[in-house]
């Protein structure tokens, strides 16, 4: 018997699939073009206080608003986290990669340690730069220093900025006692066990009716008005 010849079937072009592929391909090309051709146009910054927005932009390497493709979030974060005044950062992009959103956590100055002529930052690092912050005017013993620094880290910034001077001032009852001179003229006594009571300071002074005096937060909470 003669063998039947197999017919080669021609596959028809699936126009619908081809159309979808073409659209995806063109979108991909457009996206690549936008990434490579787009310069950063807007930079939004949050979380900074001591560092200005311009400081953050310069540290990030974005001063001249360069192309987005060479300044992706991971690179900007690396630049920021090399700076001694930044603890951490989070960077995002929106729009056609032209809008940069930067959120930083500052390694902000806690105090100026007069004995060593150094500024102590949040993470304990000591630097030569000077800031308008609380000055510790005498030596804090090593046995107390770390705990004191830990307490200072938990003082609210708006209260921290109200402290002018801090003196380590132990007595026969408590070796972890401190005296604070506030920049509004009030005095405060604190112990490390009750140190975070200072966070209530702004609410407390509202009831002082503008009077100045000594606020004892080391033993009880009472206000002794200066003699007028």
pLDDT of residue 212: 92
What pTM, to 2 d.p., does this model score? Answer: 0.80
CB 82 within 8 A of CB 49: no
Residue holding tokens 């949050």? 46
- Report pLDDT digits (tens) over 148-164: 999 999 999 999 999 99
C-alpha torsion sign, points 153, 154, 159, 165: negative
Q: How far apart are CA 18 and CA 16, in angstroms?
A: 5
What domains can be seen in the chain, in order of their start residue?
Answer: 40-106 (3.10.20), 109-225 (3.40.50.10960)
What is the full per-residue pLDDT of the chain (228 aa) written as tens digits?
A: 555 555 555 556 667 777 788 788 888 777 777 666 688 999 999 999 999 999 999 999 999 999 888 898 999 999 999 999 999 999 999 877 789 999 999 999 999 999 999 999 999 999 999 999 999 999 999 999 999 999 999 999 999 999 999 999 998 889 999 999 999 999 999 999 999 999 999 999 888 888 899 999 988 788 888 876
CA distances from 39 to 60, 64, 75, 92, 222 (A): 15, 10, 16, 15, 59
């Amino acid at each position: 018997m003669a063998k039947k010849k197999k017919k080669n079937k021609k596959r028809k072009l699936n126009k619908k699939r081809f159309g979808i592929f073409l659209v995806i391909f063109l979108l991909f090309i457009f996206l690549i073009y936008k990434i490579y051709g787009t310069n950063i146009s807007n930079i939004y910054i949050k979380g900074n206080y001591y560092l200005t927005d311009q400081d953050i932009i310069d540290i990030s390497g974005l001063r001249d608003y360069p192309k987005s493709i060479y300044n992706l979030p991971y690179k900007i974060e690396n630049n920021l986290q090399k700076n001694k005044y930044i603890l951490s950062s989070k960077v995002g992009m929106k729009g056609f990669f032209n809008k940069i959103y930067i959120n930083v956590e500052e390694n902000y100055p806690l105090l100026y340690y007069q004995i060593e002529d150094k500024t102590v930052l949040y993470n304990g690092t000591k630097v030569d730069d000077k800031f308008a912050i609380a000055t510790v005017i005498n030596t804090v013993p090593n046995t107390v220093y770390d705990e004191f620094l830990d307490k200072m880290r938990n003082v609210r910034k708006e209260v921290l900025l109200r402290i002018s001077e801090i003196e380590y001032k132990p007595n026969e009852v408590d070796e972890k006692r401190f005296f604070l001179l506030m920049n509004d003229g009030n005095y405060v006594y604190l112990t490390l066990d009750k140190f975070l009571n200072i966070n209530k300071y702004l609410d407390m002074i509202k009831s002082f009716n503008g009077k100045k005096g000594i606020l004892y937060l080391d033993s009880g909470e009472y206000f002794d008005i200066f003699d007028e």
